[in-house]
Homo-oligomer: A and B are copies of this chain.
Amino acid sequence: MTASQPSINDVKAYMEGLGRAARAASVEIARASTAAKNLALTETARVIEAEAAALAAANARDLDAASALDAAARDRLTLTPARIAAMAQGLREMAALPDPVGAITDLARRPSGIQVGRMRVPLGVVGIIYESRPNVTADAAGLCLKSGNAVILRGGSEALHSNQAIAACIARGLAVAGLPAAAVQVVETTDRAAVGALLQSPAYVDVIVPRGGKSLIERVTAEARVPVIKHLDGVCHVYLDADADPAKAEKVAFNAKCQRYGTCNTMETLLVHAAVASSLLPPLFARYRDAGVELRGCAATCALDAAVTPATEDDWYAEYLAPILAVRVVSSLDEAMQHIRQYGSQHTDAIITENYSHAMRFLREVDSSSVMVNASTRFADGFEYGLGAEIGISTDKFHARGPVGLEGLTSQKWIVLGDGEVRG
Protein backbone atom coordinates (compact mmCIF):
# COMPACT_ATOMS: atom_id res chain seq x y z
CA MET A 1 0.00 0.00 0.00
CA THR A 2 2.06 2.94 -1.24
CA ALA A 3 0.73 6.20 0.04
CA SER A 4 3.11 8.49 -1.79
CA GLN A 5 2.25 10.07 -5.09
CA PRO A 6 4.43 8.53 -7.78
CA SER A 7 6.21 10.96 -10.06
CA ILE A 8 4.68 10.52 -13.47
CA ASN A 9 6.39 12.55 -16.15
CA ASP A 10 4.57 11.43 -19.25
CA VAL A 11 0.89 11.55 -18.30
CA LYS A 12 -0.27 10.60 -21.77
CA ALA A 13 1.87 7.44 -21.82
CA TYR A 14 0.89 6.64 -18.24
CA MET A 15 -2.83 6.91 -19.04
CA GLU A 16 -2.37 4.86 -22.20
CA GLY A 17 -0.76 2.18 -20.06
CA LEU A 18 -3.73 2.19 -17.70
CA GLY A 19 -6.10 2.08 -20.65
CA ARG A 20 -4.34 -0.84 -22.29
CA ALA A 21 -4.28 -2.79 -19.03
CA ALA A 22 -7.95 -2.02 -18.42
CA ARG A 23 -8.91 -3.16 -21.91
CA ALA A 24 -7.07 -6.46 -21.38
CA ALA A 25 -8.60 -6.93 -17.93
CA SER A 26 -12.08 -6.16 -19.28
CA VAL A 27 -11.97 -9.35 -21.36
CA GLU A 28 -11.27 -11.43 -18.25
CA ILE A 29 -13.72 -9.65 -15.98
CA ALA A 30 -16.46 -9.91 -18.61
CA ARG A 31 -16.26 -13.70 -18.56
CA ALA A 32 -15.60 -14.03 -14.83
CA SER A 33 -18.02 -16.25 -12.92
CA THR A 34 -20.59 -14.69 -10.62
CA ALA A 35 -18.97 -16.55 -7.74
CA ALA A 36 -15.55 -15.03 -8.43
CA LYS A 37 -16.96 -11.51 -8.69
CA ASN A 38 -18.94 -11.94 -5.47
CA LEU A 39 -15.89 -13.32 -3.68
CA ALA A 40 -13.88 -10.27 -4.75
CA LEU A 41 -16.62 -8.02 -3.36
CA THR A 42 -17.04 -9.76 -0.02
CA GLU A 43 -13.29 -10.19 0.42
CA THR A 44 -12.74 -6.49 -0.27
CA ALA A 45 -15.41 -5.72 2.32
CA ARG A 46 -13.58 -7.90 4.83
CA VAL A 47 -10.22 -6.24 4.10
CA ILE A 48 -11.76 -2.74 4.37
CA GLU A 49 -13.02 -3.60 7.83
CA ALA A 50 -9.72 -5.21 8.84
CA GLU A 51 -7.76 -2.24 7.53
CA ALA A 52 -10.04 0.43 8.98
CA ALA A 53 -7.15 1.94 10.96
CA ALA A 54 -4.91 2.12 7.90
CA LEU A 55 -7.72 3.72 5.89
CA ALA A 56 -8.26 6.30 8.63
CA ALA A 57 -4.52 7.04 8.70
CA ALA A 58 -4.37 7.55 4.93
CA ASN A 59 -7.44 9.75 5.18
CA ALA A 60 -5.79 11.77 7.98
CA ARG A 61 -2.88 12.52 5.63
CA ASP A 62 -5.33 13.88 3.06
CA LEU A 63 -7.14 15.92 5.71
CA ASP A 64 -3.85 17.33 7.04
CA ALA A 65 -2.91 18.50 3.57
CA ALA A 66 -6.39 19.92 2.91
CA SER A 67 -6.37 22.81 5.35
CA ALA A 68 -7.63 25.14 2.61
CA LEU A 69 -10.94 23.24 2.24
CA ASP A 70 -14.10 24.64 3.79
CA ALA A 71 -15.97 22.70 6.46
CA ALA A 72 -18.44 21.06 4.03
CA ALA A 73 -15.64 19.86 1.74
CA ARG A 74 -13.64 18.55 4.71
CA ASP A 75 -16.71 16.66 5.84
CA ARG A 76 -17.12 15.06 2.40
CA LEU A 77 -13.43 14.09 2.44
CA THR A 78 -13.55 12.52 5.91
CA LEU A 79 -13.66 8.73 6.29
CA THR A 80 -15.37 8.23 9.65
CA PRO A 81 -15.58 4.71 11.15
CA ALA A 82 -19.25 4.68 10.18
CA ARG A 83 -18.43 5.57 6.56
CA ILE A 84 -15.75 2.87 6.41
CA ALA A 85 -18.29 0.35 7.71
CA ALA A 86 -20.84 1.60 5.16
CA MET A 87 -18.39 1.01 2.29
CA ALA A 88 -17.94 -2.59 3.39
CA GLN A 89 -21.68 -3.05 3.82
CA GLY A 90 -22.34 -1.58 0.36
CA LEU A 91 -19.97 -4.10 -1.23
CA ARG A 92 -21.69 -6.99 0.55
CA GLU A 93 -25.05 -5.76 -0.73
CA MET A 94 -23.68 -5.67 -4.28
CA ALA A 95 -22.51 -9.25 -3.86
CA ALA A 96 -26.09 -10.18 -2.94
CA LEU A 97 -27.57 -8.59 -6.10
CA PRO A 98 -28.33 -10.75 -9.14
CA ASP A 99 -25.56 -10.81 -11.73
CA PRO A 100 -26.86 -9.03 -14.84
CA VAL A 101 -24.14 -10.41 -17.12
CA GLY A 102 -25.04 -13.23 -19.49
CA ALA A 103 -28.79 -13.05 -18.93
CA ILE A 104 -30.55 -14.17 -22.11
CA THR A 105 -33.97 -12.67 -22.84
CA ASP A 106 -36.54 -12.46 -25.61
CA LEU A 107 -35.38 -15.68 -27.27
CA ALA A 108 -37.85 -16.41 -30.06
CA ARG A 109 -37.87 -18.57 -33.17
CA ARG A 110 -38.04 -16.75 -36.49
CA PRO A 111 -39.66 -18.03 -39.71
CA SER A 112 -36.17 -18.86 -41.04
CA GLY A 113 -35.72 -21.37 -38.21
CA ILE A 114 -33.10 -19.45 -36.24
CA GLN A 115 -33.75 -18.51 -32.62
CA VAL A 116 -32.96 -14.85 -31.95
CA GLY A 117 -32.51 -13.37 -28.49
CA ARG A 118 -30.46 -10.91 -26.53
CA MET A 119 -27.68 -11.42 -24.01
CA ARG A 120 -26.77 -8.80 -21.43
CA VAL A 121 -23.07 -7.92 -21.60
CA PRO A 122 -20.71 -5.48 -19.88
CA LEU A 123 -19.89 -2.16 -21.57
CA GLY A 124 -16.15 -2.88 -21.26
CA VAL A 125 -14.07 -0.17 -19.58
CA VAL A 126 -15.77 2.49 -17.43
CA GLY A 127 -14.01 5.71 -16.48
CA ILE A 128 -15.21 7.40 -13.29
CA ILE A 129 -14.24 11.01 -12.66
CA TYR A 130 -15.24 12.20 -9.22
CA GLU A 131 -14.58 14.72 -6.53
CA SER A 132 -13.77 14.50 -2.88
CA ARG A 133 -15.87 11.67 -1.36
CA PRO A 134 -13.44 8.71 -1.13
CA ASN A 135 -16.27 6.21 -0.57
CA VAL A 136 -17.09 6.59 -4.29
CA THR A 137 -13.91 4.59 -4.93
CA ALA A 138 -15.38 1.49 -3.27
CA ASP A 139 -18.97 2.00 -4.47
CA ALA A 140 -18.09 2.63 -8.11
CA ALA A 141 -15.47 -0.11 -8.24
CA GLY A 142 -17.97 -2.57 -6.78
CA LEU A 143 -20.70 -1.71 -9.26
CA CYS A 144 -18.33 -1.93 -12.23
CA LEU A 145 -16.90 -5.23 -11.00
CA LYS A 146 -20.32 -6.80 -10.45
CA SER A 147 -21.47 -5.66 -13.91
CA GLY A 148 -18.36 -7.24 -15.48
CA ASN A 149 -16.60 -4.01 -16.41
CA ALA A 150 -13.03 -2.90 -15.84
CA VAL A 151 -12.85 0.55 -14.26
CA ILE A 152 -10.39 3.42 -14.16
CA LEU A 153 -11.05 5.71 -11.21
CA ARG A 154 -9.90 9.31 -11.18
CA GLY A 155 -10.80 10.84 -7.85
CA GLY A 156 -10.14 14.28 -6.44
CA SER A 157 -6.51 15.18 -5.86
CA GLU A 158 -7.29 16.05 -2.22
CA ALA A 159 -8.40 12.43 -1.65
CA LEU A 160 -5.47 10.68 -3.31
CA HIS A 161 -4.09 8.85 -0.26
CA SER A 162 -7.55 7.74 0.85
CA ASN A 163 -8.35 6.49 -2.65
CA GLN A 164 -5.06 4.63 -2.93
CA ALA A 165 -5.66 2.96 0.43
CA ILE A 166 -9.15 1.85 -0.65
CA ALA A 167 -7.75 0.65 -3.97
CA ALA A 168 -5.23 -1.46 -2.09
CA CYS A 169 -8.09 -3.20 -0.27
CA ILE A 170 -9.86 -3.83 -3.59
CA ALA A 171 -6.64 -5.22 -5.06
CA ARG A 172 -6.48 -7.77 -2.25
CA GLY A 173 -10.10 -8.75 -2.88
CA LEU A 174 -9.42 -9.21 -6.60
CA ALA A 175 -6.31 -11.28 -5.90
CA VAL A 176 -8.14 -13.66 -3.56
CA ALA A 177 -10.81 -14.16 -6.24
CA GLY A 178 -8.20 -14.75 -8.95
CA LEU A 179 -9.35 -11.71 -10.91
CA PRO A 180 -6.93 -9.38 -12.73
CA ALA A 181 -5.56 -6.47 -10.71
CA ALA A 182 -6.11 -4.11 -13.65
CA ALA A 183 -9.87 -4.63 -13.40
CA VAL A 184 -9.84 -1.75 -10.89
CA GLN A 185 -7.19 0.95 -11.33
CA VAL A 186 -6.87 4.27 -9.52
CA VAL A 187 -5.15 7.07 -11.44
CA GLU A 188 -2.13 7.93 -9.29
CA THR A 189 -1.43 11.38 -10.62
CA THR A 190 -3.23 14.59 -9.79
CA ASP A 191 -2.25 16.10 -13.14
CA ARG A 192 -5.43 17.39 -14.79
CA ALA A 193 -4.17 16.13 -18.14
CA ALA A 194 -5.09 12.65 -16.90
CA VAL A 195 -8.76 13.62 -17.06
CA GLY A 196 -8.35 14.83 -20.64
CA ALA A 197 -6.69 11.54 -21.58
CA LEU A 198 -9.57 9.53 -20.08
CA LEU A 199 -12.17 11.64 -21.89
CA GLN A 200 -10.54 11.31 -25.28
CA SER A 201 -9.56 7.66 -25.54
CA PRO A 202 -12.41 5.76 -27.18
CA ALA A 203 -9.96 2.93 -27.83
CA TYR A 204 -9.59 2.31 -24.09
CA VAL A 205 -12.69 3.76 -22.44
CA ASP A 206 -16.28 2.81 -23.37
CA VAL A 207 -18.13 5.23 -21.11
CA ILE A 208 -17.36 8.01 -18.65
CA VAL A 209 -19.38 8.60 -15.49
CA PRO A 210 -18.63 11.99 -13.94
CA ARG A 211 -19.70 12.43 -10.34
CA GLY A 212 -19.45 15.87 -8.87
CA GLY A 213 -20.49 19.49 -9.22
CA LYS A 214 -21.80 21.28 -12.24
CA SER A 215 -18.44 22.61 -13.40
CA LEU A 216 -16.95 19.10 -13.47
CA ILE A 217 -19.89 17.75 -15.47
CA GLU A 218 -19.77 20.65 -17.91
CA ARG A 219 -16.06 20.15 -18.50
CA VAL A 220 -16.54 16.43 -19.06
CA THR A 221 -19.44 17.02 -21.46
CA ALA A 222 -17.52 19.62 -23.44
CA GLU A 223 -14.34 17.57 -23.80
CA ALA A 224 -15.53 13.97 -23.98
CA ARG A 225 -14.98 11.98 -27.16
CA VAL A 226 -16.51 8.90 -25.52
CA PRO A 227 -20.10 8.43 -24.31
CA VAL A 228 -20.97 9.99 -20.96
CA ILE A 229 -23.60 8.96 -18.41
CA LYS A 230 -24.16 12.29 -16.78
CA HIS A 231 -26.31 14.00 -14.26
CA LEU A 232 -27.03 17.68 -14.67
CA ASP A 233 -29.50 19.74 -12.64
CA GLY A 234 -32.36 18.47 -10.54
CA VAL A 235 -35.04 21.14 -10.85
CA CYS A 236 -37.86 18.94 -9.57
CA HIS A 237 -41.56 19.86 -9.41
CA VAL A 238 -44.58 18.74 -7.47
CA TYR A 239 -47.91 19.70 -9.06
CA LEU A 240 -50.94 19.76 -6.79
CA ASP A 241 -53.83 19.07 -9.14
CA ALA A 242 -57.36 20.41 -8.68
CA ASP A 243 -58.34 16.84 -7.79
CA ALA A 244 -55.53 16.31 -5.28
CA ASP A 245 -56.30 14.58 -2.01
CA PRO A 246 -55.50 17.39 0.48
CA ALA A 247 -53.81 15.13 3.03
CA LYS A 248 -51.57 13.48 0.42
CA ALA A 249 -50.82 16.87 -1.12
CA GLU A 250 -49.60 18.34 2.15
CA LYS A 251 -47.65 15.26 3.17
CA VAL A 252 -45.86 14.83 -0.16
CA ALA A 253 -45.20 18.52 -0.85
CA PHE A 254 -43.68 18.94 2.61
CA ASN A 255 -41.54 15.80 2.38
CA ALA A 256 -40.35 16.55 -1.17
CA LYS A 257 -38.94 19.89 0.00
CA CYS A 258 -37.95 19.34 3.61
CA GLN A 259 -36.76 15.77 4.02
CA ARG A 260 -33.34 16.89 2.70
CA TYR A 261 -32.50 20.21 1.05
CA GLY A 262 -29.25 19.44 -0.72
CA THR A 263 -30.19 16.46 -2.88
CA CYS A 264 -30.92 16.47 -6.60
CA ASN A 265 -34.38 14.92 -6.16
CA THR A 266 -35.57 17.61 -3.74
CA MET A 267 -38.55 19.66 -5.00
CA GLU A 268 -37.50 23.17 -6.02
CA THR A 269 -40.79 24.48 -7.43
CA LEU A 270 -44.31 23.76 -6.21
CA LEU A 271 -47.11 24.14 -8.77
CA VAL A 272 -50.71 24.41 -7.57
CA HIS A 273 -53.98 24.46 -9.48
CA ALA A 274 -55.84 27.76 -8.95
CA ALA A 275 -58.98 25.98 -7.79
CA VAL A 276 -57.23 24.54 -4.72
CA ALA A 277 -54.49 27.10 -4.06
CA SER A 278 -56.40 28.94 -1.35
CA SER A 279 -57.27 25.74 0.51
CA LEU A 280 -54.00 23.80 0.11
CA LEU A 281 -51.34 26.48 0.37
CA PRO A 282 -51.98 28.16 3.76
CA PRO A 283 -51.47 25.03 5.92
CA LEU A 284 -48.45 24.02 3.77
CA PHE A 285 -46.91 27.49 4.01
CA ALA A 286 -47.26 27.35 7.80
CA ARG A 287 -45.33 24.09 7.91
CA TYR A 288 -42.65 25.38 5.50
CA ARG A 289 -42.17 28.46 7.68
CA ASP A 290 -41.87 26.32 10.78
CA ALA A 291 -39.13 24.42 9.01
CA GLY A 292 -37.38 27.65 8.03
CA VAL A 293 -38.12 27.48 4.28
CA GLU A 294 -38.13 30.78 2.42
CA LEU A 295 -41.04 31.10 -0.03
CA ARG A 296 -40.90 32.88 -3.41
CA GLY A 297 -44.12 33.02 -5.39
CA CYS A 298 -45.92 34.17 -8.51
CA ALA A 299 -48.36 37.09 -8.29
CA ALA A 300 -51.28 34.82 -7.41
CA THR A 301 -49.27 33.18 -4.62
CA CYS A 302 -48.23 36.57 -3.23
CA ALA A 303 -51.87 37.69 -3.38
CA LEU A 304 -52.79 34.70 -1.21
CA ASP A 305 -50.01 35.33 1.30
CA ALA A 306 -48.47 38.77 1.56
CA ALA A 307 -45.37 37.43 3.32
CA VAL A 308 -44.25 35.49 0.22
CA THR A 309 -41.42 37.19 -1.73
CA PRO A 310 -42.22 37.79 -5.43
CA ALA A 311 -40.38 35.24 -7.58
CA THR A 312 -38.28 36.38 -10.53
CA GLU A 313 -37.89 34.50 -13.82
CA ASP A 314 -34.60 33.09 -12.49
CA ASP A 315 -36.41 31.43 -9.59
CA TRP A 316 -38.26 29.09 -11.95
CA TYR A 317 -34.94 27.81 -13.29
CA ALA A 318 -33.25 27.59 -9.90
CA GLU A 319 -31.90 24.42 -8.31
CA TYR A 320 -31.69 25.94 -4.83
CA LEU A 321 -30.35 22.90 -2.96
CA ALA A 322 -31.36 24.98 0.06
CA PRO A 323 -34.43 25.83 2.20
CA ILE A 324 -35.96 28.01 -0.50
CA LEU A 325 -39.08 27.11 -2.51
CA ALA A 326 -40.61 28.70 -5.60
CA VAL A 327 -44.41 28.47 -5.77
CA ARG A 328 -46.62 29.08 -8.80
CA VAL A 329 -50.37 28.91 -9.26
CA VAL A 330 -51.44 27.47 -12.63
CA SER A 331 -54.84 27.34 -14.29
CA SER A 332 -54.69 23.80 -15.70
CA LEU A 333 -52.82 20.52 -15.97
CA ASP A 334 -51.57 21.67 -19.37
CA GLU A 335 -50.15 24.86 -17.90
CA ALA A 336 -48.41 22.84 -15.19
CA MET A 337 -46.87 20.48 -17.76
CA GLN A 338 -45.88 23.44 -19.94
CA HIS A 339 -44.11 25.02 -16.95
CA ILE A 340 -42.24 21.78 -16.27
CA ARG A 341 -41.26 21.49 -19.94
CA GLN A 342 -39.98 25.06 -20.03
CA TYR A 343 -38.19 25.37 -16.70
CA GLY A 344 -37.57 21.82 -15.53
CA SER A 345 -34.42 19.74 -15.94
CA GLN A 346 -36.11 16.43 -16.85
CA HIS A 347 -34.99 14.89 -13.56
CA THR A 348 -38.03 14.05 -11.40
CA ASP A 349 -41.54 15.50 -11.35
CA ALA A 350 -44.68 14.45 -9.47
CA ILE A 351 -48.41 15.06 -9.71
CA ILE A 352 -50.71 14.77 -6.72
CA THR A 353 -54.18 13.85 -7.95
CA GLU A 354 -57.06 11.44 -7.53
CA ASN A 355 -58.04 12.02 -11.19
CA TYR A 356 -57.17 8.95 -13.26
CA SER A 357 -56.94 10.73 -16.62
CA HIS A 358 -54.77 13.50 -15.23
CA ALA A 359 -52.45 10.94 -13.65
CA MET A 360 -52.14 9.04 -16.94
CA ARG A 361 -51.52 12.19 -18.99
CA PHE A 362 -48.87 13.40 -16.55
CA LEU A 363 -47.13 9.99 -16.57
CA ARG A 364 -47.12 9.85 -20.34
CA GLU A 365 -46.43 13.45 -21.28
CA VAL A 366 -43.92 14.71 -18.72
CA ASP A 367 -40.55 13.94 -20.26
CA SER A 368 -38.44 13.44 -17.14
CA SER A 369 -36.25 10.57 -16.02
CA SER A 370 -38.69 9.84 -13.17
CA VAL A 371 -42.38 10.75 -13.28
CA MET A 372 -44.48 10.12 -10.17
CA VAL A 373 -48.09 10.05 -9.05
CA ASN A 374 -48.87 10.71 -5.38
CA ALA A 375 -45.34 10.12 -4.15
CA SER A 376 -42.46 12.27 -3.01
CA THR A 377 -39.76 13.19 -5.55
CA ARG A 378 -37.26 12.13 -2.87
CA PHE A 379 -37.91 8.50 -3.87
CA ALA A 380 -35.92 8.96 -7.11
CA ASP A 381 -32.94 6.92 -5.96
CA GLY A 382 -31.32 3.62 -6.85
CA PHE A 383 -31.87 2.04 -3.44
CA GLU A 384 -35.52 3.17 -3.26
CA TYR A 385 -36.12 1.80 -6.79
CA GLY A 386 -34.63 -1.56 -5.87
CA LEU A 387 -31.48 -1.27 -8.01
CA GLY A 388 -29.41 -1.99 -4.92
CA ALA A 389 -26.99 0.85 -5.61
CA GLU A 390 -26.50 3.44 -8.27
CA ILE A 391 -23.53 4.80 -10.15
CA GLY A 392 -25.44 8.06 -10.64
CA ILE A 393 -28.73 9.52 -11.86
CA SER A 394 -28.76 10.16 -15.59
CA THR A 395 -30.65 13.17 -16.90
CA ASP A 396 -29.87 12.12 -20.47
CA LYS A 397 -32.29 10.11 -22.58
CA PHE A 398 -29.70 8.07 -24.39
CA HIS A 399 -28.77 4.59 -23.07
CA ALA A 400 -29.80 5.11 -19.42
CA ARG A 401 -32.27 7.49 -17.77
CA GLY A 402 -32.73 8.15 -14.08
CA PRO A 403 -30.98 6.08 -11.39
CA VAL A 404 -28.29 3.97 -13.09
CA GLY A 405 -27.52 0.67 -11.41
CA LEU A 406 -25.88 -2.49 -12.69
CA GLU A 407 -28.09 -2.64 -15.79
CA GLY A 408 -27.03 0.85 -16.90
CA LEU A 409 -23.43 -0.38 -16.92
CA THR A 410 -24.32 -3.13 -19.38
CA SER A 411 -25.57 -3.43 -22.95
CA GLN A 412 -27.32 -6.19 -24.84
CA LYS A 413 -25.91 -8.08 -27.78
CA TRP A 414 -27.96 -10.22 -30.13
CA ILE A 415 -27.50 -13.96 -30.11
CA VAL A 416 -28.62 -16.36 -32.79
CA LEU A 417 -28.98 -20.08 -32.13
CA GLY A 418 -29.18 -22.01 -35.35
CA ASP A 419 -28.98 -25.49 -36.76
CA GLY A 420 -27.14 -24.75 -39.96
CA GLU A 421 -29.65 -22.22 -41.33
CA VAL A 422 -28.59 -20.03 -44.24
CA ARG A 423 -30.21 -16.99 -45.77
CA GLY A 424 -32.12 -17.54 -48.97
Which residues of A approach B to under 8 Å, CB–CB? 27, 30-31, 102, 108, 110, 112, 114, 116, 119, 121, 123-124, 206-207, 227, 245, 247-248, 251-252, 254-256, 259, 341, 350, 352, 361, 363-365, 367-376, 378-380, 384-386, 396-399, 401-403, 411-424
Assess A420 versus B206: contact at CB under 8 Å? Given A30-B365, A119-B363, A414-B402.
no
Assess A401 versus B376: contact at CB under 8 Å? Given A255-B423, A420-B251, A423-B259.
no
- Among A31, A102, A411, the most chain B Cβ lie within 10 Å of the Cβ of A411
Contact indicator A369/B413 (Cβ below 8 Å): yes
Contact indicator B112/A373 (Cβ below 8 Å): no
Assess A411 versus B398: contact at CB under 8 Å? Given A375-B416, A375-B418, A416-B370.
yes
Contact indicator A413/B401 (Cβ below 8 Å): yes
Interface SS of chain A: mixed
Contact indicator A27/B418 (Cβ below 8 Å): no
Residue in chain B with minimal CB distance to A207: B398
Q: What are the residues of chain B within 8 A of A373 when measuring CB–CB?
A: 415-418
Assess A110 versus B365: contact at CB under 8 Å? Given A372-B415, A375-B421, A416-B370.
no
Contact indicator A416/B379 (Cβ below 8 Å): yes
Contact indicator B379/A112 (Cβ below 8 Å): yes
Q: What are the residues of chain B within 8 A of A248 when measuring CB–CB?
A: 419-420
Top-9 shortest CB links A-B? A375-B418, A248-B420, A255-B422, A372-B416, A399-B399, A378-B423, A374-B418, A227-B398, A370-B414
Contact of A413 among B108, B124, B350, B402 (CB under 8 A): B402
Beyond A31-B361, A385-B414, 7 additional pairs, beta carbon < 8 A: A31-B364, A259-B423, A371-B414, A374-B417, A379-B421, A380-B416, A398-B411
Contact of A376 among B245, B363, B421 (CB under 8 A): B421
Contact indicator A245/B375 (Cβ below 8 Å): no
Q: What are the residues of chain B within 8 A of A420 when measuring CB–CB?
A: 245, 247-248, 251-252, 352, 374-375
Chain copies in the assembled complex:
2
Complex Cα distance, B383 from A116, in Å, reads: 12
Complex Cα distance, B91 from A1, in Å, reads: 63
Contact indicator A116/B385 (Cβ below 8 Å): yes
Contact of A30 among B123, B367, B424 (CB under 8 A): B367
Complex Cα distance, B49 from A75, in Å, reads: 69
Nearest chain B CB to A139 CB, angstrom units:
20
Complex Cα distance, B398 from A412, in Å, reads: 9
Nearest chain B CB to A170 CB, angstrom units:
24
Q: What are the residues of chain B within 8 A of A421 when measuring CB–CB?
A: 252, 374-376, 379
Can you list 30 A-B pairs, Cβ within 8 angstroms, ordered by A?
Answer: A30-B367, A31-B364, A102-B364, A114-B375, A116-B386, A119-B371, A121-B397, A123-B398, A124-B367, A227-B399, A247-B420, A248-B420, A252-B422, A255-B422, A259-B422, A367-B413, A369-B414, A370-B416, A371-B413, A373-B417, A374-B418, A374-B419, A374-B420, A375-B418, A375-B420, A376-B418, A379-B423, A380-B416, A397-B411, A401-B412
Q: What are the residues of chain B within 8 A of A245 when measuring CB–CB?
A: 420
Residue in chain B with minimal CB distance to A227: B398
Q: What are the residues of chain B within 8 A of A365 when measuring CB–CB?
A: 27, 30-31
Assess A397 versus B123: contact at CB under 8 Å? Given A112-B384, A414-B371.
yes
Complex Cα distance, B103 from A364, in Å, reads: 10
Nearest chain B CB to A372 CB, angstrom units:
4
Complex Cα distance, B121 from A398, in Å, reads: 11
Q: What are the residues of chain B within 8 A of A108 when measuring CB–CB?
A: 386
Nearest chain B CB to A163 CB, angstrom units:
26
Q: What are the residues of chain B within 8 A of A259 when measuring CB–CB?
A: 422-424
Complex Cα distance, B119 from A114, in Å, reads: 30
Residue in chain B with minimal CB distance to A417: B373
Contact indicator B367/A121 (Cβ below 8 Å): yes
